[in-house]
Protein backbone atom coordinates (compact mmCIF):
# COMPACT_ATOMS: atom_id res chain seq x y z
CA UNK A 1 0.00 0.00 0.00
CA UNK A 2 1.59 3.24 -1.17
CA UNK A 3 4.87 1.40 -1.79
CA UNK A 4 5.02 -0.27 1.65
CA UNK A 5 4.19 -3.91 2.55
CA UNK A 6 0.94 -4.18 4.50
CA UNK A 7 0.07 -7.13 6.74
CA UNK A 8 -2.78 -5.44 8.62
CA UNK A 9 -6.05 -6.78 7.16
CA UNK A 10 -8.05 -4.14 9.05
CA UNK A 11 -6.20 -1.21 7.47
CA UNK A 12 -8.55 1.25 5.76
CA UNK A 13 -7.75 1.84 2.10
CA UNK A 14 -8.87 5.24 0.83
CA UNK A 15 -9.44 6.54 -2.69
CA UNK A 16 -6.00 8.19 -2.75
CA UNK A 17 -4.10 5.02 -1.78
CA UNK A 18 -2.16 3.04 -4.35
CA UNK A 19 -2.49 -0.72 -3.91
CA UNK A 20 -0.31 -3.28 -5.69
CA UNK A 21 -0.20 -7.08 -5.55
CA UNK A 22 2.83 -8.81 -7.06
CA UNK A 23 3.76 -5.39 -8.47
CA UNK A 24 0.47 -5.16 -10.41
CA UNK A 25 -2.01 -2.38 -9.58
CA UNK A 26 -5.21 -3.49 -7.85
CA UNK A 27 -8.24 -1.53 -8.98
CA UNK A 28 -11.41 -1.52 -6.90
CA UNK A 29 -14.53 -2.45 -8.84
CA UNK A 30 -17.76 -0.81 -7.78
CA UNK A 31 -21.16 -2.42 -7.79
CA UNK A 32 -22.28 -3.87 -11.10
CA UNK A 33 -25.72 -3.49 -12.68
CA UNK A 34 -26.59 -5.39 -15.86
CA UNK A 35 -29.58 -6.08 -18.08
CA UNK A 36 -29.72 -9.31 -20.04
CA UNK A 37 -32.13 -10.50 -22.71
CA UNK A 38 -32.81 -14.04 -21.51
CA UNK A 39 -33.25 -16.59 -24.29
CA UNK A 40 -35.73 -19.44 -24.17
CA UNK A 41 -34.70 -22.51 -22.12
CA UNK A 42 -32.06 -20.73 -20.01
CA UNK A 43 -32.45 -20.79 -16.23
CA UNK A 44 -31.81 -18.01 -13.72
CA UNK A 45 -29.78 -20.20 -11.36
CA UNK A 46 -26.05 -20.80 -11.46
CA UNK A 47 -26.29 -24.54 -12.07
CA UNK A 48 -28.98 -26.77 -13.52
CA UNK A 49 -28.64 -30.30 -14.83
CA UNK A 50 -31.23 -29.82 -17.60
CA UNK A 51 -30.77 -26.27 -18.91
CA UNK A 52 -27.94 -23.78 -19.49
CA UNK A 53 -27.67 -20.87 -17.05
CA UNK A 54 -27.90 -17.17 -17.89
CA UNK A 55 -24.59 -16.82 -16.01
CA UNK A 56 -22.93 -18.74 -18.86
CA UNK A 57 -23.79 -15.81 -21.14
CA UNK A 58 -21.54 -13.48 -19.12
CA UNK A 59 -17.74 -13.26 -19.16
CA UNK A 60 -16.36 -15.52 -16.44
CA UNK A 61 -14.66 -12.65 -14.60
CA UNK A 62 -18.02 -10.82 -14.36
CA UNK A 63 -19.95 -13.63 -12.69
CA UNK A 64 -18.52 -13.27 -9.19
CA UNK A 65 -21.07 -12.06 -6.64
CA UNK A 66 -23.71 -11.28 -9.29
CA UNK A 67 -27.24 -12.28 -8.42
CA UNK A 68 -30.53 -11.90 -10.23
CA UNK A 69 -33.11 -9.31 -9.21
CA UNK A 70 -36.32 -10.99 -10.37
CA UNK A 71 -35.89 -14.42 -11.91
CA UNK A 72 -37.66 -15.83 -14.96
CA UNK A 73 -38.65 -19.44 -15.62
CA UNK A 74 -36.78 -21.40 -18.28
CA UNK A 75 -39.70 -21.06 -20.71
CA UNK A 76 -39.99 -17.28 -20.23
CA UNK A 77 -37.85 -14.86 -22.24
CA UNK A 78 -36.81 -11.25 -21.85
CA UNK A 79 -35.49 -8.78 -19.31
CA UNK A 80 -33.37 -10.07 -16.44
CA UNK A 81 -31.52 -7.67 -14.11
CA UNK A 82 -28.28 -8.77 -12.44
CA UNK A 83 -26.34 -6.90 -9.78
CA UNK A 84 -23.77 -7.13 -7.01
CA UNK A 85 -25.70 -4.51 -5.00
CA UNK A 86 -27.97 -6.25 -2.47
CA UNK A 87 -29.84 -3.08 -1.45
CA UNK A 88 -30.66 -2.23 -5.07
CA UNK A 89 -31.79 -5.80 -5.71
CA UNK A 90 -34.10 -5.60 -2.68
CA UNK A 91 -35.69 -2.41 -4.04
CA UNK A 92 -36.43 -4.26 -7.29
CA UNK A 93 -37.84 -7.45 -5.79
CA UNK A 94 -39.45 -6.45 -2.48
CA UNK A 95 -43.28 -6.47 -2.55
CA UNK A 96 -43.15 -3.31 -0.41
CA UNK A 97 -41.66 -1.37 -3.35
CA UNK A 98 -44.19 -2.83 -5.84
CA UNK A 99 -42.11 -2.34 -8.99
CA UNK A 100 -44.26 -3.00 -12.04
CA UNK A 101 -43.22 -5.85 -14.32
CA UNK A 102 -44.54 -5.80 -17.89
CA UNK A 103 -45.12 -9.00 -19.86
CA UNK A 104 -46.27 -9.84 -23.37
CA UNK A 105 -48.42 -12.97 -23.23
CA UNK A 106 -49.72 -15.29 -25.93
CA UNK A 107 -52.56 -17.58 -24.92
CA UNK A 108 -53.94 -20.94 -26.00
CA UNK A 109 -57.54 -19.66 -26.10
CA UNK A 110 -59.13 -16.27 -26.79
CA UNK A 111 -59.45 -14.20 -23.61
CA UNK A 112 -62.95 -12.83 -23.06
CA UNK A 113 -63.54 -9.39 -21.57
CA UNK A 114 -65.12 -10.85 -18.41
CA UNK A 115 -62.00 -12.93 -17.72
CA UNK A 116 -59.75 -9.98 -18.55
CA UNK A 117 -61.66 -7.87 -16.02
CA UNK A 118 -61.25 -10.56 -13.34
CA UNK A 119 -57.49 -10.50 -13.92
CA UNK A 120 -57.42 -6.69 -13.77
CA UNK A 121 -59.26 -6.65 -10.44
CA UNK A 122 -57.20 -9.35 -8.72
CA UNK A 123 -57.91 -13.06 -8.71
CA UNK A 124 -57.69 -15.92 -6.21
CA UNK A 125 -54.86 -18.36 -6.94
CA UNK A 126 -54.74 -21.92 -5.68
CA UNK A 127 -52.71 -22.31 -2.46
CA UNK A 128 -52.46 -18.53 -1.94
CA UNK A 129 -53.94 -16.76 1.08
CA UNK A 130 -54.55 -13.47 -0.72
CA UNK A 131 -55.82 -12.61 -4.18
CA UNK A 132 -53.39 -11.09 -6.64
CA UNK A 133 -53.02 -7.33 -6.61
CA UNK A 134 -54.91 -5.47 -9.34
CA UNK A 135 -53.14 -5.77 -12.70
CA UNK A 136 -53.11 -3.72 -15.89
CA UNK A 137 -54.13 -5.85 -18.87
CA UNK A 138 -54.48 -4.71 -22.47
CA UNK A 139 -55.66 -7.11 -25.16
CA UNK A 140 -53.82 -6.65 -28.46
CA UNK A 141 -55.93 -9.37 -30.08
CA UNK A 142 -58.07 -12.21 -28.63
CA UNK A 143 -55.05 -14.44 -27.81
CA UNK A 144 -52.36 -11.81 -27.09
CA UNK A 145 -52.12 -9.26 -24.32
CA UNK A 146 -49.81 -7.00 -22.40
CA UNK A 147 -49.92 -7.56 -18.63
CA UNK A 148 -48.41 -5.40 -15.91
CA UNK A 149 -48.20 -6.77 -12.36
CA UNK A 150 -46.69 -5.35 -9.17
CA UNK A 151 -45.84 -8.55 -7.31
CA UNK A 152 -44.04 -11.79 -8.03
CA UNK A 153 -45.79 -14.88 -6.72
CA UNK A 154 -44.50 -18.27 -7.87
CA UNK A 155 -45.38 -18.78 -11.59
CA UNK A 156 -47.85 -15.93 -11.11
CA UNK A 157 -48.67 -15.01 -14.70
CA UNK A 158 -49.24 -18.62 -15.76
CA UNK A 159 -51.37 -19.28 -12.66
CA UNK A 160 -53.45 -16.14 -13.23
CA UNK A 161 -54.46 -17.25 -16.71
CA UNK A 162 -54.97 -20.85 -15.54
CA UNK A 163 -57.40 -19.48 -12.92
CA UNK A 164 -59.65 -18.23 -15.74
CA UNK A 165 -59.35 -21.50 -17.69
CA UNK A 166 -56.66 -20.44 -20.14
CA UNK A 167 -53.04 -21.41 -20.75
CA UNK A 168 -49.95 -19.31 -21.47
CA UNK A 169 -48.15 -20.34 -24.67
CA UNK A 170 -45.33 -17.76 -24.66
CA UNK A 171 -44.31 -15.24 -22.01
CA UNK A 172 -41.85 -12.37 -22.50
CA UNK A 173 -40.91 -9.70 -19.92
CA UNK A 174 -39.80 -6.38 -21.37
CA UNK A 175 -39.82 -4.00 -18.39
CA UNK A 176 -39.22 -3.83 -14.64
CA UNK A 177 -40.17 -0.48 -13.13
CA UNK A 178 -38.78 2.21 -15.43
CA UNK A 179 -36.14 -0.12 -16.93
CA UNK A 180 -37.17 -1.33 -20.35
CA UNK A 181 -35.40 -4.09 -22.25
CA UNK A 182 -33.02 -2.48 -24.74
CA UNK A 183 -34.40 -3.27 -28.23
CA UNK A 184 -30.80 -3.50 -29.49
CA UNK A 185 -30.09 -6.50 -27.23
CA UNK A 186 -30.46 -9.78 -29.10
CA UNK A 187 -31.46 -12.86 -27.06
CA UNK A 188 -28.43 -13.89 -25.01
CA UNK A 189 -26.88 -10.40 -25.08
CA UNK A 190 -26.34 -8.11 -22.12
CA UNK A 191 -25.10 -4.62 -21.26
CA UNK A 192 -24.45 -2.51 -18.20
CA UNK A 193 -27.25 -0.24 -16.99
CA UNK A 194 -26.89 3.50 -17.44
CA UNK A 195 -26.81 5.76 -14.37
CA UNK A 196 -30.39 6.86 -15.13
CA UNK A 197 -31.60 3.25 -15.36
CA UNK A 198 -29.97 2.34 -12.04
CA UNK A 199 -31.94 5.06 -10.28
CA UNK A 200 -35.35 3.64 -11.14
Known catalytic residue at 87: no
CA 160 – CA 170 distance, rounded (Å)? 14
Q: Could you say which of 73, 75, 85, 182 is catalytic?
A: 73
φ and ψ of 171, to 5 deg: -140, 125
Pairing of strands 76-83, 168-176: parallel
Q: What residues act catalytically?
A: 73
Amino acid sequence: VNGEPCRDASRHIGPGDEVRLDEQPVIAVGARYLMLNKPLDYVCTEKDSHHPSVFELLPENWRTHLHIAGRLDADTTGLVLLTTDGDWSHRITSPNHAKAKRYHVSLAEPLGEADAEMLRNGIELKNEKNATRPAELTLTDPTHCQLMIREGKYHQVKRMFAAVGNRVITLHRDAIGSIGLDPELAPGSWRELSDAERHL
